[in-house]
């Protein structure tokens, strides 16, 4: 059974851009295949991904530049390959230093994911998210998660 993890938007963006071989790209590719890793997301996170990919500085990073149709197809493909949590779990305040990270925690808890993968210091400082009534969710940096995924799971 694949490990289920919420990949932070910046991890997914690096995977979409495929700029260099990295743990983020490997995890994104594994999540798309669904063999060892099942990506978990939410409608809020997919909306954030769409907004980030539409930024002028991000569009310019690909050749040809990302256009609206390609962005829409990419987001749809991710929605089809990842597990999309319903998004009914809202307004959780587990990342007080950066409230914009709370949707990742909400998606992970709602979907009962095994992990959150991010480079974000605010999230990484949590190490584990514990909320009464939910099982704990570990927070990993991409390199650490990839190593653990390949060895332990």
Residue ranges of E strands in the chain = 3-7, 37-42, 83-85, 115-117, 128-129, 137-140
pLDDT at 52: 97
Q: What does pLDDT average to in each consecutive run of 10 residues of the chain (153 residues)?
A: 94 89 94 95 95 94 89 96 82 54 86 93 82 81 94 78
How many structural domains comprise the chain? 1
pLDDT at 70: 92
- Which domain does 95 fall in, by range? 3-151
pLDDT at 126: 81
> Which two structure tokens, joined as six digits, stand for 11?
């991890």
Model confidence, pTM = 0.89
By the 8 A CB rule, do 34 and 81 touch?
A: yes
> Could you give the angle at the alpha carbon of 75 between the alpha carbons of 69 and 79, nearest 5°?
140
3-class secondary structure, 128: strand
Residues 6 or more apart whose CB falls under 8 angstroms from that of 52 comprise 9, 10, 13, 58
Best CA proximity match to 13, nearest among 55, 43, 42, 44: 55
Cα 131 from chain centre:
20
Q: What is the CATH number of the domain that holds 10?
A: 3.40.50.1010
Distance CA 28, CA 88 (A): 25
3-class secondary structure, 135: coil
By the 8 A CB rule, do 107 and 63 touch?
A: no
């Amino acid at each position: 059974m694949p490990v289920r993890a919420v990949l932070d938007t910046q991890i997914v963006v690096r995977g979409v851009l495929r700029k260099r071989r990295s743990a983020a790209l490997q995890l994104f590719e594994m999540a798309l295949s669904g063999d060892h890793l099942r990506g978990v997301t939410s409608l809020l996170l997919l909306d954030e991904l769409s907004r980030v990919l539409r930024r002028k500085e991000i569009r310019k990073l690909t050749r040809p530049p990302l256009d609206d149709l390609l962005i829409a197809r990419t987001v749809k493909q991710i929605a089809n390959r990842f597990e999309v949590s319903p998004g009914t779990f809202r307004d959780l305040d587990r990342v007080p230093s950066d409230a914009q990270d709370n949707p990742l925690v909400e998606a992970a808890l709602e979907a009962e994911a095994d992990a959150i993968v991010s480079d974000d210091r605010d999230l990484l400082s949590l190490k584990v998210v514990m909320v009464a009534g939910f099982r704990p969710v570990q927070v990993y940096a991409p390199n650490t998660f990839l190593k653990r995924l390949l060895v332990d799971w």
